[in-house]
Amino acid sequence: MDSKLTITPLGGIPQVRPGDDLAAVLIGALEAAGLVLRTQDVLVVTQKIVSKSEGRLVRLADVEPRPEAVEWARAWDKDARQVEVVLRESVEIVRQAHGVIISRTAHGFVCANAGVDASNVGGQDVVTLLPEDPDRSAARIRERVRDMLGVDVGVVISDSFGRPWRYGITDVALGVAGFRPLDDLRGRPDTEGRTMRSTVVAVADQLASTAELASGKTSRRPVVLIRGARLPAGEGSVVGDVVMPPEVDLFR
């Protein structure tokens, strides 16, 4: 059946360090798994290894927390230095309660802790920041894969975000390359022949969720290969196309 999708998580990815050529690491893992990339394949790469390869790390030992961070950390059993980094990465605090900080990042993402995540790199306590420009991160991987293998793939940089109204996190796209993250079906007929008036599908976010389903959070499989997805042709970006300006957001 040609409409079938296959989702393959890649194991065997080594610890990624700042300056690593992430595309070369991915290609190595694909080769080790006996997988040959094809045009229209999608590589979904979790944010954390992208951030590490780009050196988006802050050593907590170097962080001087502001008084509010110290106070909040004391009240909620957090590391004040990590709270400080969260505040630095936030351009707007959406909600701060019960030990959770939900904020808007400079990219426009609304998420817990501004995407700042504890990690350990080389035995030191560090936190990872979101990539500075995740669409550019995705484009860089795509270009490097094309240079090395001569294949045009789609790339998604993913992260796990909470959302309003429903418990649980789902993976969404932070950055994308090689296709448009939204499939605008307005004006096209639906399955009953009716013209769709408002249907715009968040393809990149669904690719990210699909990848998470296959990889899970407990095994080290930060890269997933999705084969068989229909990708909206063209170029686009998550920050430019998916992130909604607050002033037009009816759900807020």
Q: Which one of 57-65, 84-92, 149-157, 164-172 is the stretch in contact with a copy of itself (CB under 8 A)?
A: 164-172
Residue 82 found at the interface with a copy of itself (CB under 8 A): no
Residues 213-242 that bind a copy of itself (CB under 8 A): 213-214, 216-222, 228-230, 241-242
Contact pick of 102, 141, 145, 176 for a copy of itself (by CB under 8 A): 102
CB of 190 to a copy of itself, least distance (A): 6
Q: Which residues pair with residue 48 across a beta bridge?
A: none
Under a CB-based contact definition with an 8 Å cutoff, are residues 156 and 208 in contact? yes
Contact pick of 24, 100, 124, 132 for a copy of itself (by CB under 8 A): 100
Residue 118 found at the interface with a copy of itself (CB under 8 A): yes
- Residue 37 neighbours by CB under 8 Å, 6+ apart: 27, 30, 43, 145, 149, 151, 153, 225
Q: Report the distance separating Cα 236 and Cα 23, nearest Å.
A: 20
CB of 147 to a copy of itself, least distance (A): 27
Among 135, 137, 115, smallest CA distance to 58 is for 115
Q: What is the separation of C-alpha 172 from the centre of its chain, rounded to a whole number of angstroms?
A: 6
Residue 160 found at the interface with a copy of itself (CB under 8 A): yes
Q: Which one of 57-65, 79-87, 95-103, 143-151 is the stretch in contact with a copy of itself (CB under 8 A)?
A: 95-103
Contact pick of 14, 18, 55, 189 for a copy of itself (by CB under 8 A): 189
Residue 53 found at the interface with a copy of itself (CB under 8 A): no
Q: Which residues pair with residue 59 across a beta bridge?
A: 126
Alpha-carbon separation of residue 154 from 20, 133, 177, 231 (angstroms): 21, 17, 6, 8
Q: Which one of 4-12, 18-26, 54-62, 138-146 is the stretch in contact with a copy of itself (CB under 8 A)?
A: 4-12
Q: Which one of 84-92, 139-147, 149-157, 187-195 is the stretch in contact with a copy of itself (CB under 8 A)?
A: 187-195
Gyration radius (Cα) of the chain, Å: 19
Return phi, psi of residue 95, to 5°.
-160, 140
